[in-house]
A and B are shown apart, each in its own frame.
Chain A
């Protein structure tokens, strides 16, 4: 019986020891490894706003209306002009494509939006009109701001009526650009 009693005491001690071991076992790692944190860098790059300037206006040059037709200006630095129908072009005033300069973030690409419809040219000081449409640009697709700038040209087709009243006609159109 004495031996049994000692054994029970041993068991009790063992339980206490066991409890202590658990307490130590769970408490010690909690201090070192229960939580952790890490730092991340963050960045953002603000680029200059994209801007567009018109350097040269679109000019269909001089021509005689004849029986009417169209005058087509190609979109190029050395724009070529052609006529359809009865319009007769005067070679001395060949006209120009519109020239635009775009500036912004170096290397960025951008989209060009040409007028959706036609623009009206009105005889200066009077009411007679012609319309320009079928807009074209010298860029095949999106533009690229190599070095932060790019130049492109815009051409169009002018519709001339038979016996269009002679005189100087003027109007405006808008081209917009936006970053891709």
Chain B
């Protein structure tokens, strides 16, 4: 009978227990919601982006007996074969700007094959460029401030008696966080 005599206190005990449980649930719910939001914010990364700021140009040259025009990532030309380079139009390397997370490393992917340059007025006349080379080579790292410039050079194959005229084409450069 003793428990029934203490109805009031028993009732109070249940209410207290219930209140305690509710408080506990409420606390758990709040903590869960707050932590989840915090974690999502901490893992957001700036996307990597790349833009082309200068096209690649092999400049002007006379085909001569044919050969190649090698353009370094620094924009310096050389002609190991019979091609005669015109100093007045020296060309330049392509420049890309890479942006993203500060200090993030990334891989640079040059074109897998060659690209074709097509004559301005006769699409049957072409030259191919390949042997791509970039600076930095292979991998880069985005500096703390500002974008990183990636320059790209290549080797152009020129036929003997290649028809005079302007030739143009394009190529892609890809970057990926590593």
Residues of B within 8 A of A40 (CB): 52, 54-56, 94, 96, 152, 170-173
On whether the beta carbons of A33 and B47 are closer than 8 Å, the reply is: yes
Residues of A within 8 A of B165 (CB): 45-46
Contact of B168 among A33, A34, A43 (CB under 8 A): A43
Chain B interface, number of residues (Cβ within 8 angstroms): 70
Return the chain B residue nearest A178 by Cβ.
Answer: B84
- Residue-wise interface mask of B (160-178) relative to A, using a CB-CB cutoff of 8 A (1 in contact, 0 not): 0011111111111111110
Tell me the bound Cα distance from A18 to B31 in angstroms.
11
Contacts A36-B49, A49-B64 hold; do A44 and B167 have CB atoms under 8 A apart? yes
On whether the beta carbons of B60 and A105 are closer than 8 Å, the reply is: yes
Main SS of chain A's interface residues? mixed
Residues of B within 8 A of A14 (CB): 28, 31-32, 35
Task: Give chain B nearest CB distance to A172 CB in angstroms.
Answer: 25
On whether the beta carbons of B31 and A42 are closer than 8 Å, the reply is: no
Contacts A7-B24, A10-B28, A18-B39 hold; do A38 and B167 have CB atoms under 8 A apart? no
Tell me the bound Cα distance from A21 to B39 in angstroms.
6
Main SS of chain B's interface residues? strand
Residues of A within 8 A of B170 (CB): 39-42
The tally of CB-CB contacts under 8 A between chains A and B is: 188
Task: Give chain B nearest CB distance to A5 CB in angstroms.
Answer: 10
Tell me the bound Cα distance from A18 to B54 in angstroms.
45
- Residue-wise interface mask of A (45-68) relative to B, using a CB-CB cutoff of 8 A (1 in contact, 0 not): 111111000000000000000000
Return the chain A residue nearest B84 by Cβ.
Answer: A179
Q: Is B57 part of the contact surface with A, judged by Cβ < 8 Å?
A: yes
Task: Give chain A nearest CB distance to B41 CB in angstroms.
Answer: 8
| Interface pairs (21), CB distance under 8 Å | A7-B24, A7-B28, A10-B27, A13-B28, A17-B32, A17-B35, A29-B45, A29-B47, A33-B47, A37-B172, A37-B174, A40-B94, A41-B168, A42-B169, A44-B117, A44-B167, A45-B167, A46-B167, A47-B164, A108-B88, A180-B88
- B contact residues vs A (CB 8 Å cutoff): 20-21, 24-25, 27-28, 31-32, 35-36, 39-40, 42-52, 54-64, 69, 84-89, 91, 94, 96, 100, 109, 115, 117, 127, 129, 152, 154, 156, 158, 162-177
Known: A18-B35, A25-B44, A47-B61. 16 other contacts (CB 8 A): A2-B21, A33-B49, A35-B177, A38-B96, A41-B55, A41-B169, A42-B56, A42-B57, A44-B58, A44-B59, A44-B166, A45-B166, A46-B61, A46-B162, A47-B86, A107-B88
